[in-house]
Amino acid sequence: MSSKINVKAPLVILHGDEMAQVAFERILDTFVTSPLDIELVEVDLTAENRLVTNGQAVIDAIEALKRYGVGVKNAGMTVNRTQLGELLSAHPELDGTTLHPLATKSPNGAIRKGIGGNITREDIQFRNLQFIKPEWVGRDIEVDTMEVGGSKDSFNELSRATGIVKLMFVGASGDPIELHRREVKKGDPWLLATNDIDEIKAWAHRFFQRAIDEKRDIYLGLKDTVIAGYDGVMRAAIEGIYESHYRTQVEKLGLSYHYELIDAQAARIVANPPERALWGVPDNTTGRKLYKLVEQLKQHGIPTRKAHVSLSRMSAGGGDQYGSYNAPAAEDGILKVIVDGDEKHARHVKRGDPILLMSNDHEAIKDWITQVFRDASRKDKEVYFGLKREYMNYDEVFSTVITDVRKELAQADTPPPSFMIMRPSSQLIKMITDPPRNALYPAQNLDGDIFSDISAALGGSLATASSIIESKSGTMLFEAPHGTAHDLYLRYLESDGKEAHFNSSALIFAVANALETLGERESNAALIDYATRLKAALIDTVADGIITGDLKGKTTDPAAETIVDMQGFLDAVASRLQA
């Protein structure tokens, strides 16, 4: 008779890329297929397979999750333009001009929208990790952002009826061309934003010249992978200016230039800040938030972190920038938004101006806020919403829904937890510099991406946080919030697999959460016990001072730390699990 634990229901496994995938395969072999008699429904979500299947892999993942209900997702690459070019060169049979957006964009937003899921990210409750605070008081970092354009100068409103929003363009021909259409329901928020390509270039000149004049290292942060037709256009223009006019001067002065996705860069700069830097965040909505945070940190520093942080991220409708239409204008002309035949807004754009049309789903917002209150009540958390209501009708709908959900919960004799509504910048500052004992921070999609990476970095490592996506229908997807660890993967390849450095904690925790959920759904006591012991083995391993290099010096007893590579860490967890 097999000694394996029998599991009735299948587990969906969504494979990813690079070093995270190397770790994932070993985790599945060690902690899933070896001790369990379980069916795995596996989907290859690597960047290459998403491209080769023209996005069908993403659709397959969504269908598998909806059918089976519980899954684990590994980190995957979202390709930039250079990486896309390399993949297309490797597959000459593919026509890059006819690719579906699912083939090249991040699959995360599509999956969350497909299953109707919201994200909750929390610190894994390791007992002996401590954040080694960088000295922030007086730190010489300046944030530079554009004063015009973007969401700040958008046209946004709540749809007054259910219908079709059309984005039309009238160029030199004089004939209207439909660029995009989407359905909206009454009460859904929508927004049109553009940026002036000449203003972007002028800002880039001022930005780089300021860095040279003040002799500062240069950091530029955007989200060009997810919003390629908007942030990607800005990045291309700004880096074109840098290459043509400033690279030689910067290098001659011994200064450095760094580009990184804004969420990863925000985490790095807050948790491991450079000595003297100019941080360019062209998107002024995000830039103003991060400017205020940096100024607060320079004045007060980062306090001792005494509480684990939970952040809920709105993404059920695939809303805001992640579900947007974004592209540069093909020529000079007039952009118009038409809702069921009525022209709501028109503005001039020039060739190359980045365009963003986004909306969100009122019902998805309601589902999210209901989940936020339910989770906060269950875990006795205070709730701190971040909304920009003073000039954003788009955000006003959230506060209206909060009121509606409060009334519904009260009528059902389920009073909501204590909550506050504040500006997103104040929400971020509170989460980092004044965290209460037990709080939940709900944030919209892009803010949630940035805030959660900052929070995870301040918790010690992106690998020390958990991420849970839950849909209204009960579909549960567990994932690690970190990326694919590209730099570690290059070392792994260069050493023929001999150097395998990667913190697998978040992936192990995601697997354990998924197994625990399967156990609860089929009343499988043995599986629940196994999942609970797997989590305990992970936490005990770190408590014993056995850690990967990213946590070096971050335990309460650095002298007792034993630094191991990826396989050494997995072996240590397995040993404690068996014991």
Give residue-wise pLDDT tens across range 68-127: 999 999 999 988 778 888 999 999 999 888 999 899 988 887 898 889 888 888 888 888
Torsion angle in degrees (nearest 10) through CA of 268, 270, 276, 277:
70
The whole-angstrom separation of Cα 314 and Cα 322 is 11
CATH of region 5-130+468-578, choose from 3.40.30.10, 3.40.50.720, 3.40.718.10, 1.20.1250.20: 3.40.718.10
pTM of the entire predicted model? 0.80
Burial class (CB in 10 A: 0-12, 13-18, 19+), 382: middle
Separation in Å, CA 267 to CA 311, 397, 444, 447: 15, 29, 18, 13
Distance from the Cα of residue 512 to its chain's centroid: 22
Tell me the Ramachandran region of residue 229: left when phi exceeds 0, alpha when psi lies from -120 to 50, beta otherwise: alpha
Phi (first) and psi of residue 46, to 5 degrees: -60, 155
The whole-angstrom separation of Cα 75 and Cα 264 is 14
Strands 354-359 and 189-194: antiparallel
Question: What pLDDT, on a 0 to 100 scale, did the predictor assign at position 306?
Answer: 67
Question: What pLDDT, on a 0 to 100 scale, did the predictor assign at position 460?
Answer: 66
Burial class (CB in 10 A: 0-12, 13-18, 19+), 536: middle
Question: What pLDDT, on a 0 to 100 scale, did the predictor assign at position 397?
Answer: 85
The whole-angstrom separation of Cα 147 and Cα 285 is 9
Q: What is the per-residue pLDDT across 4-21, written as a single tens digit (0 to 9) for each?
A: 999 999 999 999 999 999
Residues of the chain under the 70 pLDDT cut: 1-2, 305-308, 315-319, 389-391, 436, 460
Burial class (CB in 10 A: 0-12, 13-18, 19+), 259: middle
Q: Do 567 and 552 form a contact (C-beta atoms < 8 A)?
A: no
The whole-angstrom separation of Cα 11 and Cα 8 is 10
Question: What pLDDT, on a 0 to 100 scale, did the predictor assign at position 280?
Answer: 98
The whole-angstrom separation of Cα 455 and Cα 230 is 26
Phi (first) and psi of residue 401, to 5 degrees: -65, -40
Q: Do 119 and 57 form a contact (C-beta atoms < 8 A)?
A: no
Closest to 461 measured CA to CA, from 506, 499, 428, 492: 506
Question: What pLDDT, on a 0 to 100 scale, did the predictor assign at position 503?
Answer: 95
DSSP letter, residue 161:
S
Question: What pLDDT, on a 0 to 100 scale, did the predictor assign at position 319?
Answer: 61
Q: What is the per-residue pLDDT across 179-205, written as a single tens digit (0 to 9) for each?
A: 999 999 998 999 999 999 999 999 999
Q: Give the tokens for residue 118.
A: 């919201």
Encode 107-152 in three state secondary structure: HHHHHHHHHCEEEEEEECCCCCECCCCCCCCCCEEEEECCCCCHHH
Helix axis angle, 262-271 to 445-458, nearest 10°: 30
Under DSSP, is residue 480 helix (H, G, I), strand (E, B) or coil? coil
The whole-angstrom separation of Cα 11 and Cα 65 is 9
The whole-angstrom separation of Cα 366 and Cα 470 is 14
Question: What pLDDT, on a 0 to 100 scale, did the predictor assign at position 329?
Answer: 97
Q: What is the per-residue pLDDT across 433-467, written as a single tens digit (0 to 9) for each?
A: 777 678 888 988 788 888 888 887 777 677 888 88
